[in-house]
Amino acid sequence: MTPDKRDPQDHQLKDVSSEDVRDLVPEDPPLETMGLARKIAKAGYASRRQAEEMVRSGRVVINDKRILDPYMSVTDEHEIKIDGVPVVEIIRSYFAFNKPADVATSPSVGYRHRTLNEFLPRDIPGLQSAGRLDIGTTGLLLLSNDSAWNAVAASGHGHGKEFLVTVRNSVAQGQIEVMAAGVKIPRLGAVSPTLVCLEERSDRRSTFRIALDSGKVRQIRILCSALHLEIEAIHRVRIGVVELGALAVGRYRALSRDEIEGIRAGA
């Protein structure tokens, strides 16, 4: 009898059916799902809250059906339209804007004041301000249709903000020194500027420069009130690496790559 010279491992092989072969072929990864409003916001058309309002107001259609649930799960296979226009991933745009006085950065007060939309390019969807300025505060405001970038820019951490503050007082050097040393204010906590210096002073008016790292609401106004200084104007001139420079009031300019990445990195 001829000895069996096959590899011993051959005895362990089994016939494989076509169904078994199909089982061995890796399946396509499952499609990523997310809420409808989040999908619209991620594409850059609006903030999350604004996207939710778009859906609830009946402006959004998916596969030719009007959808009113902003939390409906969707994937890339769904055809989403806003006001009849297909939603696609938009090109990210980033701007510096010199905000005039009496312009609202919040839509909730827009009915009494001019709004940002009156000044911004109409061919770039989803532009939002990164943070806000009071109605009466002027100067540098950052804008983009990149919600993640806006959140970093508005966080108040890692982005020093510099202002020129004009008051209807003759500011004493002692008041400048008190501000520079930091002031603890009830219900607000410590206000600790990284820079305070006097720019101009007369008998009835003074202008000083102040830089802050924290983003506490209305802290300059509260600080001046605590020192009995009557504010005439607050003008923001810098956010992180972005400076207002000679940008005219009511105008905007595109940010450079270094400025965009500097804000993203918290510089």
Task: Name the token pair of 217.
Answer: 């609401």
Does 114 share its domain with 208?
no
Whether 17 is covered by a domain: the verdict is no
Provide the pLDDT for residue 213. Answer: 86
* pLDDT at residue 87, as a whole number: 85
| 247 and 119 in a common domain | yes
Domain that holds residue 130: 94-157+243-264
Residues 94-145 pLDDT 10s: 999 999 998 888 766 545 678 888 898 888 878 889 988 888 899 999 999 8
Q: What is the pLDDT of residue 123?
A: 81
Same domain, 153 and 260: yes
CA dist 153 → 22, 135, 141, 186 (Å): 50, 20, 10, 27
pTM above 0.85, yes or no: no
Q: What is the pLDDT of residue 156?
A: 67
| Under 8 Å between Cβ of 92 and 144 | yes
Lowest mean pLDDT across 27-36, 148-157, 164-173: 27-36
Amino acid at 42: K
73-74/231-239 β-pairing: unpaired
Note whether residue 11 is domain-resident.
no
* 54 and 186 share one domain: no
Is residue 20 domain-resident?
no
Amino acid (1-letter code) at residue 83: D
Q: What is the pLDDT of residues 195-252, one digit of tens each?
A: 999 999 999 999 999 999 877 778 899 899 989 999 999 999 999 999 999 999 999 9
* Whether 148 and 170 share a structural domain: no
In one-letter notation, the amino acid at residue 72 is: M
